[in-house]
Structures are given as C-alpha cells and as structure tokens.
Structure 1
Amino acid sequence: MEKKERKRIVLSSNTAFSLYNFRLHLMRTLKEKGYEVITVSPEDGKYSELLKKEFSFFPVKSLDRKGKNPIKDLKLFFEYFLLFRRLKPDIVINFTIKPNIYGSISAGLLGIPSISVITGLGYVFIREIWLTKFVKLLYWLAFRFNRAVVFLNSEDLNTLRNFSKEKSFLIESEGIDIKHFDLTLCKEAKKDEFAFLFVGRLLTDKGICELIKAFESLKKEKPKVKLIIVGSPDEGNPNSVSKGELEKWVKEGLIEWHGFQEDVRPFYCMANCVVLPSYREGIPRVLLEAMAMEKPIITTDAPGCRNVCVDGVNGFLVKPKDVESLYFAMKRMVELGDEKLREFGKAGRRLAEEKYSVEKIVGEYINLIEAVLSKS
C-alpha cells in the first residue's frame, strides 16, 4: 500500500522570536496531529536555531519589519513566491503585517490556500496618515487571496471587515500557558515598596511616556512606590524611545530598567500591579501573562486592551494618552489594600483560565486550519 504523504503547513512571521514564543503550542499540536510543520522568518541566531530543532526552517532575507522601501518589499514578495513554489505547502498561515500581505499574495498566485492572522493593526492605524490608506489597499489585495482572516479583537475585525467579509474569524489571542505562568512559582517575600511593572517594547505607542509622567507625579505623593521596566528600545521603529531617555529616567531614580528578558516570570513575582497604557493592541499578551500570574492590571480603554480588563474587577481602565487618568488609576491601585489586590488578581486568573488558555485557543486555530484544508 502506498504511504500517504503528510500535509505541509507553513507558518510565516516577521521574527523567529515570535514564532517560537507565541506559536509554539500551535506548531507542536499540528506536528502531533501528523502535519509537516515548516517555519519561515528572518534568521536571528538563537530562535531560528530553536525552531530548527523541532521543525523545518527556511529563512527570508528581504523582510525589513519597519522598512518602507518598495524595492525591498518587492524582493520579499519574490522571495516568498520562489520559496512557496519550491516547498509546495498545502496551506500557508501568515502572522504580522508583511507576511500577511506579501506571503498571502505569493501563496494566492501559486494557488496555495492561506490564512492571515492579524495580530494587531499597529501604529499605522493609531493615527490616520497617508500610509494608513496604502496599507489598507495592500490588505484589501492580500485578503482577496486568503481563505480565512483571523482577528484577535472585534474592533480590528470591524475596521477591516469590508476587505475580508465572510472570511473573517474572531479568535481572541494566541493563548496563554496558564501552567507556565502561575503565581505558585513566586516565593513569598515582604515588599517594602509598591511595585508597578511595565513589560514590552519601549515605544511611545505603548504609552511609555505617559507612564513615566504619571509615575513621576505619583512618586512625589507616595514615595514608597517603584516602577520596573522590562524591555528594550525597538531600533528602526520611528516610535521607539531612545537609550538616552531610558538612561536619564534611571539616573533620575524614576525607573528600574532591566532590558529584554527571556523569562519575565520573576519580574511578575516582584510586581504588585502590571501597567500597559498602550494606544492600541491585538490582544496584549503581557496582560494575559500578568492575569495568569494573579496580578492586577491597569490598561487603556482602547482596542485589544479593554478586552482583557473588566474595570473594577481585575484592574482599572484609563483613557488612552491621558497622564492624569493614568495617575489616578495608579494612585487608586496603591490605596486598594492587600485583600482587594488579591481579589483583582484572582479574578484575572479566572478570566485567563476560562477565556484565554492556550489549549482552548489552539483548538480554535486547529478547527479553522482543518476546515480550510478540507475545502482545498
């Protein structure tokens, strides 16, 4: 009897880091179900090597995450086209903007089914500029070739619904491993100061500047507070804070800065509250991690962020780009008291378990992938 060939699934993203850290459970589940899993991203050393240990890995060289050079993007399109023509996958799943656009068009022209996962609309959609209209045009073109388009929140879905129509699916987040992020990993230690924690890329769109100003006001009133920053500037991103600004904040005694960390759990253990005053997100993974670790959260009443925070239940919602609103929420959090903080934390953990566990979310992705494959 002739051996049945395994179906090939390509997962493509703008970094090997994001494939390994955010989609590993999905890729492992697909592999366990008998699919051949192929990963595609720029090579970055550590994370591309980790991917190679478990899956096939093919690098793309022309992907510039923040670049606006049309010649380089055209080269990326042809790179995807030639790679997919050689690999002959049964389906391509693209994450992040440039794979979503150029990967989907390349696959479509080759007659290969594809799914785009819109992990967030990013700074291009925060402020309406000429580039916003151009990106919308590219999305419209790419979605014509997709069999399905996944959105992480309903507002992003509604923003681009006219382009994806009946192909649109809502899967809220890429899931959180609630066994990995667990408060029981923390050792009990008495905290002399109330610690706020920010985790993420240090971008103005993440609300980092408003956070510094709000904390500066809070510290004048309540000296026994501190702000821990975990993350690095994003070189090449026009909205990144500079290393000089960070060093200035450290020198002024405003922040403890720890840079990028592979394991953020020890920092969640140190925190009383996690703050993300972002202008817009898909579904913020940082807040899901914080909730799983039973930490109260403060975030903005903005797309993606408001989805995970029930105001007054597991944290506080504040106005986007509003220093005063953020200051008052941080002050309220400090004054809540230990019992109420624990209530907020446990409510967040329950929400993470019920709605965002990686097993639940991966199951939804698998059902969609198999539905697309069955129609191909």
Structure 2
Amino acid sequence: MFTPAGGFGQRLVAEGLCWQPVPMDRRSLNPLRELIFFWQFVRLLRREKPDLIHSFTIKCAIYGSLAARLAGVPARVNAVAGMGYVFTSDSPKASLLRPLVRMLLKLALGGRNARLILQNPDDVVLFRQARLVDPDHVRLIPGSGVDCERFSPAPEPVTDGRSRVVLPARLLWDKGLAEYVEAARLLRARGVPVDLLLAGDPDPGNPAAVPESVVRGWVSEGLLQWLGHVDDMPALFRSVHIVALPSYREGLPKGLIEAGASGCALVTTDVPGCREVVTHEVDGLLVPVKDGVALADAIERLVRDPVLRNTLGAAARKKAIAEFDERIVVARTLDVYAELLGST
C-alpha cells in the first residue's frame, strides 16, 4: 500500500499490510516537483510489479493510473468518492485547473483493463455526460462499507433534557460548516435545548479548509463544542441524539452511514451522495443545500419530537445493514478485481 507519510501508516503495518510512504503533496502545483514524484512512482511500480493497482481520490487516480500504464501494471481500478474541489468549486483556481484535470482523467481512466468505481448514481451520470470514461467500464458500489456490528445502537443518552447534535467531518466549508454555525445561532436565539458538537480535524491541504482560528472563534462564542479528531467514533455516535451533515456534495458520506448504523437520527442536504443515504421522512430528514434556516428547523423538529427521532434512527440502522454493510461492499469490489484479473 502506498500513501503519503502520516500517522496512519503504522496502523496499516499493524494490520499486516505492506505499507510504503510516497512523497505526494496534494497541495503542490509545482510542475517540476510533480514530474519528479510521478517518475519516482513509475519506478516504484516497476520494482514492485503489482498485478492490479487500486487508486482512491481524483489526484491519486490520475497519478496512479498513468504511472501504472507506463509501468505495465496489468489492471487498474480507480475509486473516486465525489468530484473533488476542482469540479465543485467556482473559484478562479479551480476553473483554471478543470480543463487540465479533465484531460488527465480521460487518459487515466481509459483502457480495456481499467474500471472506475463510483459511489452514487449522480456521479455515474456526470462522468458519462462528460465522456471521461467508457460507460461499460463504470461500476456503482455504494460507499466503502461500514462495520454494522462495531457501529451499533445504544439507549439514547440522558443529558438533562438537552439533545446533542454532532457534525462529523473534515473542517471544510463545503461540508456545510457555515450553515451549521448559522443553525447554531438560530437555535440559541429560539431557546432550543440543544448542544451542537463538531468532530473533525483541520485540513490545511484542502483549498476549502476552514482556518482553525475561525473554528476557535465559534467555540469562544459558545456556538458549538469542537472535539477535534475522535478515535472512537462508535462511542461518539452513541453519546448523541442527532447527526447532521449539511454538505454541498458527497460521493457517499461514510460518517453519515456510520451514524445511521448507530441508530442516530440523520439530517443532511438533498445533494448527490447524501440523498443516497437518507430518504426524506423515512430514515432521516433532507434540507436544501446552503440553507442554515432549514437546517435549524430540521434539528429543532427532531429535538422536540423524540418519537420521530427514534423512528428515523431505527430506519437508518435497517438501511445501513441492508445496503451499506462492509461485507456487501468488499464482495462487490473483489468482483471487480476478479473481472479484471480474469481478462489479463
């Protein structure tokens, strides 16, 4: 397994995987640096001689697939969870990069022995309409899987009459943090007995990152509690009543599925990825994107109606087991491997 250096490397080794750090910097736009890294990666693949390479995220899909083609790797699988900053942002930088990334993606995803795994139907349509990939080479697999035994329900926490809500995500504007804070202000003004929590690390490598100073300012205002990185997510979900993810777009949000498997009531936006996890009024509530008022209304409704909250949480758990359990996802991913390796 090849990833940038980081704290998770030793965890991979502890699980019995062969892990090697690679000097990829996702923030880098230096052409010379990128070319040097790319050639190093080609040489690494030639040395290791894998039968199949499975790349995740857009940048890794481009680098991994192109390097694999040059290194003669027989089979390539790319899993793209969402369209990423370049395709979702309206910033001048994203607009400038978009044609180049589109061209490189088309090169990376092409070829008889390549498959693209997407996590929601909207992305399937988008990739096909953009003619980035042969439609016959696309496989729809819902997410990366959740351990529905590890993430399991517990009795609702007793919190002195106050409900607890958590937003579990990297600290990015496009996860809906501005709308979450707006909702916090509205709920406080309305006197709703609720505490809002935020679980996640800063992500300075992402252009959409929320500065840590801004988050600390929200905490100082008393709008929310910031938990930072949380190792024990099952315990966190068992300690809250509601999980909110007002994201602008997702592949298939794993944190939301984990929360559903834990029996939490879910509030999310009616956008690609999120609406595959939540059906409105069936196993959660959907709100319009970038609408802090609607988010506050949905949270207040669940705070004031514990019967609805518990009903939606139970339905979310049932859906997670039926559609998103990791055993389903692993089996379907192995089917893609077998399809490719059997054709080489």
The alignment's TM-score, normalised by the length of structure 1, stands at: 0.85
**Is 1:55 matched up with 2:22?**
no
Comparing 262-271 with 148-157, greater Cα deviation is found at: 262-271
Distance 1:258 1:188 in 2: 18
Task: Give the conservation status (yes or no) of the 8 Å contact 1:279–1:300.
Answer: yes
After superposition, where does 1:246-325 map in structure 2 within 5 Å?
A: 246-325=215-294
CA deviation after TM superposition for structure 1 residue 68, in Å: 2.4
Distance 1:333 1:68 in 2: 45
Give the aligned partner of residue 177 of structure 1. 147
For the residue of structure 2 that corresponds to 1:117, the secondary structure is: strand
Bigger RCO of structures 1 and 2 (CA < 8 A, at least 6 apart): 2
Distance 1:274 1:85 in 2: 45
Task: Give the conservation status (yes or no) of the 8 Å contact 2:186–2:293.
Answer: no
For the residue of structure 2 that corresponds to 1:139, the secondary structure is: helix
Distance 1:188 1:297 in 2: 16
Which of residues 151, 169, 176 is equivalent to 2:118?
151
- Measured against aligned partners, the alpha-carbon deviations of 1:101-136 in whole angstroms (never above 9, x if no partner) come to 011011112221111111221222223522222221
After superposition, where does 1:1-376 map in structure 2 within 5 Å?
A: 39-44=1-6, 46-53=7-14, 54-61=16-23, 63-112=24-73, 113-128=75-90, 129-145=95-111, 147-161=114-128, 162-165=131-134, 166-184=136-154, 188-335=157-304, 337-376=305-344
For the residue of structure 2 that corresponds to 1:132, the secondary structure is: helix
Distance 1:125 1:154 in 2: 17
Distance 2:269 2:32 in 1: 37
Task: Give the conservation status (yes or no) of the 8 Å contact 2:157–2:241.
Answer: no
CA deviation after TM superposition for structure 1 residue 286, in Å: 0.7
Structure 1 unaligned segments of length 5 or more: list them.
1-38
Comparing 269-278 with 122-131, greater Cα deviation is found at: 122-131
Task: Give the conservation status (yes or no) of the 8 Å contact 1:123–1:205.
Answer: no
CA deviation after TM superposition for structure 1 residue 52, in Å: 2.1
Distance 2:28 2:254 in 1: 25
- Measured against aligned partners, the alpha-carbon deviations of 1:277-309 in whole angstroms (never above 9, x if no partner) come to 001111000100100000011111111111100
For the residue of structure 1 that corresponds to 2:275, the secondary structure is: coil
Distance 1:309 1:331 in 2: 18
Task: Give the conservation status (yes or no) of the 8 Å contact 2:182–2:293.
Answer: no
Structure 2 unaligned segments of length 5 or more: list them.
none
For the residue of structure 2 that corresponds to 1:164, the secondary structure is: coil
Distance 2:127 2:96 in 1: 17
Question: How large is the RMSD of aligned CA atoms in angstroms?
Answer: 1.5
Distance 2:28 2:301 in 1: 41
Distance 1:68 1:155 in 2: 29
Distance 1:352 1:305 in 2: 13
For the residue of structure 2 that corresponds to 1:307, the secondary structure is: helix
The alignment's TM-score, normalised by the length of structure 2, stands at: 0.93
Task: Give the conservation status (yes or no) of the 8 Å contact 2:263–2:316.
Answer: yes
Task: Give the aligned length.
Answer: 334
CA deviation after TM superposition for structure 1 residue 333, in Å: 1.9
Distance 1:232 1:154 in 2: 29
CA deviation after TM superposition for structure 1 residue 213, in Å: 0.7
Return the letter of the residue paired with 1:137. M
Distance 2:298 2:30 in 1: 42
